[in-house]
Every structure is written in C-alpha cells, then in structure tokens.
Chains A and B, each alone.
Chain A
C-alpha cells in the first residue's frame, strides 16, 4: 500500500464549481472578444496525489468531466484548496510565461527564475495558447473539451514550497482554471483549439 493510495482513499469526492457558473466565467461567457485563429500544443501533463506532494509527469492522462484528472489532488479532494469549492478541475499555464520568467522579463525580482514544468503545480503546460483569453470560452485539448472558468492566481504557498520568489512575476500570467465538459484521454503533443 502506498502513501498515495491511503491519502486518496480517505478523501471525500471534491466539490467543484462548474466553469461557467463561476461569477467571472459567467460574465466572460456573455462578453464577446478574445484572440481567434490560434492553434496551440499541450507540452506537459503533471499531477500530484495530495497537497505539498511533488508533481509527477504523465505521458497520458484520463480527464473526467466535472471532476478533474484521474490521480490529481483536485480530482481526489486532497488539494490545499479542496475544501473551498472553486473551478479547480484542471489548471493550465503558458510555456511563454515560464520563458518570460527565465529571461527576467519584466525585471520584478533579483534575476531570472527557472520555473520548471514539474514545479509550477499547474496540471497542463501549453504553448501557443492565449490562456488569458479563454475565461468563458470552450476549447479542446485533443479529444477533451474544457471550459475556462477564471484566471489562475499565484499563491504564496507556491513561493514557500519552492523557495522561489514567483508570486509577483506570475501575476496576470499565472494561467487558467478550467472545468472539463466532456472527458477522455489527453497526451503531450495534443492540439489545442478554441471551440467557442
């Protein structure tokens, strides 16, 4: 029996707020706009079994509508914020944001910060996807349909865990919290496209 098994078994099924029921997701759904004509790629998938546990990379992941990625702390209800219902089924971040941190752009801290995909604690690292435009939008990653619910927000907890000053530099490019409309399997390399 692994630690993971026990921790997940004892946790309650998590409560999530559906993406378009979230107050900001609801407003954004009714507000036209946003980038069109882009086509992005899924680079990495990471999950962690419980709060504070290091993220682990997956070569494929099972996404379950209304719940999350199988094995992840927000699927299991063992996350740091699981007791506060919100849009947390899946979190995404742009590789472009990590690239900006790595070149210290803008120079908000001492110098460049290397924030690896295994360390940022969002589930999906994506490239070529304007995540800040996807609140209130439906989009697909491979065969799975997602709904953008709200912008992700950096937390001090991440700074403490990593010992890296990432709070300020991640502000406004911390990614997206999304819900899963229809589930399935996703893999790195999958195409990401806007639906509506």
Chain B
C-alpha cells in the first residue's frame, strides 16, 4: 500500500443532515485542487491523539476542489465521531489524508447492484453518481430506520430516480438478503453498512452462485470475535528466508516491525489497509474488515490477522 499525504484542510461547510449525522465539506487553504479520487474511496481523518478514522467520500469525484464526508455520531464508539462533531465547525482545520480506494467499482461489470445500510450510504452515493454519469446499468437498495433518519436520501433519490429501492424498517419494510437474486453475467454486488447486513448479504449471495470476485463489501468496523483466542505461529519472509516467531501476546505487524521490516501502518485495527502484504503459503486467520473475499487467498492484514503453523510472506 502506498504512502499518502496528510493535508491540513479547512472546514468550508458543516451542517447536520440528520439528527446525528454531520456533513463536512473540506477544502485546502492554498491549493485549488485536491488529490484525485474515484467512487468508493475514503480518507483518513487524524484525531488529536494521533488515531485515525476512515470516512468515505460522498461528493462528486469530478469536483476536485473539495472533499465531502458525512460523520454519524456513534455514542457507543471510540469517541472519534463525538470529537469531530463538536470540534469541526466551519473554519476549523483538520488533518486529512489523501484518498485511498479499497471499494472500487469493477470496470468490467455490465450491471452494478449497490446495497447501503444507514451511514454506509456515503460511498454508495458516490458510486451511484459515477455510474449515472457514465450511463452504466445499476440499482440501489437503501436500508435505514426511517426516511428522516436516512442520511443523503434526497441526493440519492435525485441521482437514482426509479433505480432506488428504499427499505425503512419503521414503515414495516425491512431489508433482507432475500431481496438479492442470482447474478446475471458480469453483475457485481457492492455493500456498505453494518457487519450483520454485510455478512447476511455475502452468505446469501454466495449461496445463489455469486462468486467472491463479484462481491465487494466495505465495513468500517473490524471483525470482533469475543471468543477468539490468539495462538503462537511462525512467519517466514520469502526474500530472505528469515523465520520469526509470533507469540500469542503479539501481532504479526509488531513482530515484523520489531525485526526491522519497514511497514506502513495507520489504524492498526484492520480497517484501513495500510499494512496489507502478500503471502504465498500458509493458513491465514483473517480478522480484518478491509480485504475483499477474492483477495484473502493471497493477501493478509498483519495488524489483526494471524495464521496457523507457518505463514510465508512475500516480503
């Protein structure tokens, strides 16, 4: 994964679009153009304690002068969204990375099926906008509690028109994975939202014959398995043959860094993708929320993922 510039951007606009979601438009104080991005990309917002949070860009990739993100207040979260909503008023400065895309549209697809759950609408909105502009064939399912609590609903309606299906549970229309049918040729499925929604959707789609390559998911929360018990494993670096021991008490990333392997890191919770590396052999226990299904056969996220036995890294 490549390095990304961290810029000090100014909040040009800050307004609540629902009771708990703040829309922020960020501009550079001196550069008229920001680094380019494609639909599905996110930026890292650096908090005062140096930790980072990922937010999908929900604006128009063709508009190079600003980035737009929507930040939902997560009362049970780690405090990042609360700080952002309280501190990032108009005129405030925020450290924001150049965009990265872990959730890109498939160029070869003939039809795109997009599913958004709640605040997961942010990348889906950008994707729908790009697809509509390109005249591509697509359909969007938007699931939320109710219309007034659904961020960016009006924008999505304007872009999609008849191509949008809304599922508001308070209206008695709860989305279930059963709304997804068997894939047409070169149809791709994209989902962004709560873990439960994505897991159900992925399992259902696989059972209907969708291939892992056709399923793209973005979840801004790493997998948390309370029952997971880490165990020791070995890692071998294919370039040097060096063998390292990863004790249950440490992470693969920490062991690599301790042995002088230069690694890029950012979130260290399995969601940003900074430290992704390739592996050539081994039984990986994937615990990240960033790799697509099709990538898991050859890529690993060393900040959270582990292995059984010996893992051979292409480093």
**Which of B19-27, B41-49, B282-290, B303-311 lies on the face that meets chain A?**
B41-49
Number of interface residues of A (CB under 8 A): 18
How far in angstroms is the closest Cβ of chain A from B278?
17
Give the secondary structure class of B's interface.
loop
Q: Is the CB of A161 within 8 A of B7?
A: no
Q: B50 contacts which of A7, A52, A118 (Cβ < 8 Å)?
A: A7
Residues of A within 8 A of B47 (CB): 3
Q: Is B76 interfacial (CB-CB < 8 Å)?
A: no
How far in angstroms is the closest Cβ of chain A from B197?
33
Q: Which of A100-150 contact B (CB under 8 A)?
A: 118
Please report the C-alpha to C-alpha distance between residue A116 and residue B6 in the assembled complex, in whole angstroms.
16
Q: Is the CB of B8 within 8 A of A54?
A: yes
Please report the C-alpha to C-alpha distance between residue A163 and residue B2 in the assembled complex, in whole angstroms.
10
Q: Is B62 interfacial (CB-CB < 8 Å)?
A: no
Q: A53 contacts which of B30, B48, B49, B95 (Cβ < 8 Å)?
A: B95
Number of interface residues of B (CB under 8 A): 17
CB-CB under 8 A for A3 and B95, given A10-B50, A54-B7, A163-B35? yes
Residues of B within 8 A of A153 (CB): none
Q: Is A157 interfacial (CB-CB < 8 Å)?
A: yes
Please report the C-alpha to C-alpha distance between residue A5 and residue B46 in the assembled complex, in whole angstroms.
13
Q: Is the CB of A3 within 8 A of B46?
A: yes
Residues of A within 8 A of B173 (CB): none
Q: Is the CB of B48 within 8 A of A161?
A: no
Residues of B within 8 A of A56 (CB): 8
Q: Is the CB of A53 within 8 A of B6?
A: yes
Please report the C-alpha to C-alpha distance between residue A8 and residue B35 in the assembled complex, in whole angstroms.
26
Residues of B within 8 A of A3 (CB): 46-48, 50, 95
1/0 per residue, CB under 8 A from A, across B30-66: the answer is 1000010000000000111110000000000000000
Q: B6 contacts which of A52, A157, A160, A163 (Cβ < 8 Å)?
A: A52
Chain B residues with CB under 8 Å of chain A are 2-8, 30, 35, 46-50, 95, 97-98
Chain A residues with CB under 8 Å of chain B are 1-3, 5-7, 10, 50, 52-54, 56, 118, 157, 160-163
Which 7 A/B pairs are nearest by Cβ-Cβ distance? A160-B2, A160-B3, A54-B7, A53-B6, A161-B5, A52-B6, A3-B95
